[in-house]
Amino acid sequence: MTTPSIDAHVRLDTHPTHSSAVTAALTGTRQDLARGMLTAHGFEPLDHQTLVLVRIDREEPYWAEKAAKALTAQGITTQITTRLREAIDEEWDWANYPMPWCTREEIREVSDEAQKIYDDIRHGRLTVHAHAEDSHTMVAVATYRGSGKSVYLHGENHLRQIAGSFDTPAQALALFERLHGDTMRPGPVPMTDTEREAAKARASPGTPTAEAEPPAAEVEIVPAYAADPGDHDAILDAFLTAHGDWERWRTWSDDTTHAIHESQTLRIERVHEAHPREIAWTVAAYETPVSDRLWHLTATGSTPAPVLQTLLDLLADGDGWDIPIGSPAAKKHITAATKPLTEAGWTHTIDDGRWLRWMNPSNDAGVRFDNFAAHRLESFLTTWTIWAGPSISRPAWALRASPSTPAPLIADLTETLAHRTHGHQRAAAQRTVRRTTTPPRLPTAPAQSSGRSL
């Protein structure tokens, strides 16, 4: 059955001044249905003939295409301009996305939930009582109008989430004050740059400038454990160039590089196309070139550059991997390895008598020692786990070390976690765009190591 045509025409185009917003221009004599459908898909009126779609997750082209399909299905003539079509077909990734394990669709789901929270606040459906700064992001406590449900909000822009709920505002405020009393401030969170840009785009379509200025980059100082992974291949290349006592060779498939120290008792394996959460680095030490391994350490593909650099610097210095190895379970070794964490005020707990844990004040980085694994040298079970992210079970990155891993090596790594900071440039656009003329490719499976093992 053919859908009857309706005397309404919608022209979808890119916003003239906002980098990702979309405008909808209406013509024809029966515009009410088109206007209603556009509104249901997030568009807001600028005037009687024009609507605009502005989102804080910069996904407007994606949602505009969905609106176009819905309009067409109702018999409304819909035109997508060439500029908007190019934006729809762009393949892009969020720079430094804090949940690298998420698929593109999962990222959109997270962003869409954040958009709903943002819209509820903006339209008065969700009243924010107080806010505070918590480990480089903003948190807030708010109550939904009508239901009276109160929520604890964490994050900003496309990363804002509901992290907890309460029956009454009094309960929510009491807990919020206990957690964030030192930085707690009344009222809503100050607008971010992204929110200010969105508000400006909703006010008027504006006039494009002759030459748009590139977004200014700002230097953000973060703890080393929250820094960017950087270019791991470039880090390895620089390391091998600077240290002639290491020899490089790559596998026949060219997906793995091996680096061997001239003593042949220390070896590095680098898997180039590993998934960010999979093992991308393996370091192994041997007593002699032909003996079994003494210890090994692995690192995932998203390990921050300063943490990885600390590891390579220690290997280059030879201060930590070539020393006599004592009992890994000895109390003095554990104390020496975790002294930087204790000095920095990390919380120390014991779990079931087996695991010793150290957590930073913001609970997004930690170190775990497995006492059971440490006493089984032949098993190569993970004894030390150094991680950062939402939890140790779903870390953004992780280093894992076997029994007999030297305490000085662990101590240098914990020193980096506890005391070092790192500056990186954060562009205002917050995303990396790769223009394509074909549909985005599905991610390939993580590259596997060659058959040769360390």
Per-residue pLDDT of the chain (454 residues; tens, 9 = 90+): 455 566 789 999 999 888 889 999 999 877 888 899 999 999 999 888 899 999 999 899 999 999 999 999 988 899 999 999 999 988 777 777 788 888 888 999 999 999 999 999 999 999 999 999 887 789 999 999 988 899 999 999 999 999 999 999 999 999 999 998 888 998 888 888 889 888 888 887 654 444 444 455 556 788 999 998 989 999 999 999 999 999 998 765 668 999 999 989 999 999 988 888 899 999 999 888 888 888 899 999 999 999 999 999 989 876 545 444 444 456 778 888 899 999 999 999 998 878 999 999 989 999 999 988 888 766 678 999 999 998 898 899 999 999 888 888 999 999 999 998 876 555 444 454 443 333 333 333 333 333 334 5
Nearest by Cα to 37 from 83, 89, 75: 75
The structural domains of the chain, with segments of one domain joined by +, span: 8-89, 104-206, 225-434
Interval 228-248: pLDDT, tens: 898 999 999 999 999 999 999
Question: Which element (helix H / strand E) includes 115?
Answer: helix 104-122
- Going through 106-216 in order, the beta strands assigned E by DSSP cover 126-134, 137-144, 150-154, 161-166, 185-186
- Taking the complete model, does pTM exceed 0.95, yes or no? no
User: Half-sphere exposure of residue 100, counting CA atoms within 13 Å on the CB side?
Assistant: 21
CA dist list (Å): 34 to 8, 27, 81, 203 = 7, 10, 18, 21
Q: For 252-296, how does the pLDDT look when each residue is reduced to its tens digit (9 = 90+)? A: 566 899 999 998 999 999 998 888 889 999 999 988 888 888 889
DSSP element (H, E) containing 386: strand 384-388
Residue 328 — φ and ψ, nearest 5°? -70, -20
Q: Mapping DSSP to helix (H, G, I), strand (E, B) and coil, where does residue 142 land? A: strand
| Residue type for position 405 | T
How many other C-beta atoms are found inside a 10 Å radius of the C-beta of residue 243? 15
8-89 to CATH, choices 3.40.50, 3.90.550, 3.30.70, 3.90.79: 3.30.70
Q: CA 342 to CA 364: how far, in whole Å?
A: 16
What CA–CA distance (Å, rounded) separates 271 from 256? 5
Q: Is 300 in contact with 397 (CB distance < 8 Å)?
A: yes
The C-alpha angle with vertex 347 and arms to 178 and 172, in degrees rounded to 5, equals 20
Which structure tokens are listed for 84? 């908007």
In contact, 370 and 381? CB cutoff 8 Å = yes
Backbone angles phi, psi at 135, to 5 degrees: 50, 60
Report d(CA 283, CA 454) in Å as an integer: 8
